């Protein structure tokens, strides 16, 4: 089973588009959606439940990027956990298949992350930023014992990522970070040497214009979805 974990608060139409993109995926296994909602007042909870998602409500004060995702993982049943954001939409019907395949390419892969594409009306700086970080070429990220860690070698974003359950049990997100929990996770996973991260050629997700640059922080670099050992 694949579990898709989404932290939500007042997702509005973005969240509805996110759910529609997940429902359109063509995969040969069961998919569940787990939503952790931190105080929505716009009907997001009803929208999520209407799609069949498992919804866990928490107090807004309990929200933390790492803490909330760890809770989603504990609620999830799948052996593979896919993370996305309420404002990200699968670019096509093969997104989940490509992303999950990249995360399962090897027992050494700790995670995979995919491209993030701008919407058609995104501004030039936004287009440049997303293409610079998440270009079209696939890659596998590893870190040698004597290698200095860099942003490039540890790039990872849970806006569009898949992580095997074993990796999340061994390397849970830190609960005390206000941001970049995915990038920090990547550094620990890669330093453990038992894992790699991967970015596949396909599996892109589109983000609406005006959204913040993707936060990174996990295993190794990625572009199109890659795997993380």
Which domains are present in the chain?
Answer: 2-228 (3.90.550.10)
- Residue 224's pLDDT is 34
Q: In the chain, helix, strand, coil percent, each to 5? A: 30, 25, 45
DSSP SS3 for 173? coil
**Strands 116-118 and 80-84, bridge-based pairing:** unpaired
Bridge partner residues of 189 (DSSP): none
Tokens of 183: 């990038």
**DSSP letters of the chain?**
-EEEEEEESS-HHHHHHHHHHHHT---SS-EEEEEEES---SSHHHHHHHTT-EEEE--GGG--HHHHHHHHHHH---SEEEEE-TT-EESSTTHHHHHHHHHTS-TTEEEEE--EEEPTT--HHHHHHHHHHS-SS-EEE---TTPPP-HHHH---TTEEEEEHHHHHHSPPPTT-SS-HHHHHHHHHHHTSS-EEEE-SS--EEE-TTPPPPP-BSSS--SSSEEE-
Q: What is the pTM of this model?
A: 0.83
Question: Which residues neighbour 194 within 8 Å (Cβ) at sequence distance 6 or greater?
Answer: 108, 110, 229
Q: Cα 106–144–182 angle (5° rounding)?
A: 65
Report pLDDT digits (tens) over 194-227.
555 555 655 555 544 333 333 322 222 223 333 3
Residues of the chain with pLDDT under 70: 145, 193-229
Cα–Cα distance, 68 to 58 (Å, whole number): 9
**Strands 116-118 and 205-207, bridge-based pairing:** parallel
Tell me, rounded to whole angstroms, the distance of Cα 23 from its chain centroid: 17
**Of 96, 99, 95, whose CA–CA distance to 200 is shortest?**
99
Report pLDDT digits (tens) over 32-49.
999 999 999 999 999 999
């Amino acid at each position: 089973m694949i579990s898709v974990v989404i932290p939500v608060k007042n997702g509005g139409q973005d969240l509805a588009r996110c759910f529609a993109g997940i429902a359109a995926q063509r995969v040969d296994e069961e998919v569940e959606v787990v939503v952790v909602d931190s105080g929505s007042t716009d009907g997001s909870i009803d929208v999520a439940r209407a799609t069949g998602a498992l919804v866990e409500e928490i107090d807004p004060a309990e929200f933390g990027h790492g803490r909330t995702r760890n809770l989603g993982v504990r609620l999830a049943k799948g052996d593979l956990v896919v993370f996305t954001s309420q404002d990200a939409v699968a670019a096509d019907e093969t997104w989940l298949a490509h992303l999950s395949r990249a995360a399962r390419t090897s027992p050494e892969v700790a995670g995979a992350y995919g491209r993030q594409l701008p919407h058609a009306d995104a501004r030039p700086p936004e287009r440049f930023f997303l293409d610079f970080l998440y270009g079209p070429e696939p890659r596998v990220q590893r870190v040698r014992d004597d290698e200095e860690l860099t942003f490039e070698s540890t790039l990872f974003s849970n806006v569009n990522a898949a992580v095997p359950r074993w990796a999340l049990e061994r390397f849970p997100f830190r609960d005390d970070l206000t941001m970049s929990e995915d990038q920090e996770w990547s550094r620990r996973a890669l330093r453990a040497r038992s894992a790699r991260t991967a970015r596949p050629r396909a599996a892109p997700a589109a983000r609406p214009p005006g959204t913040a640059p993707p936060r990174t922080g996990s295993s190794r670099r990625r572009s199109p979805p890659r795997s993380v050992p």
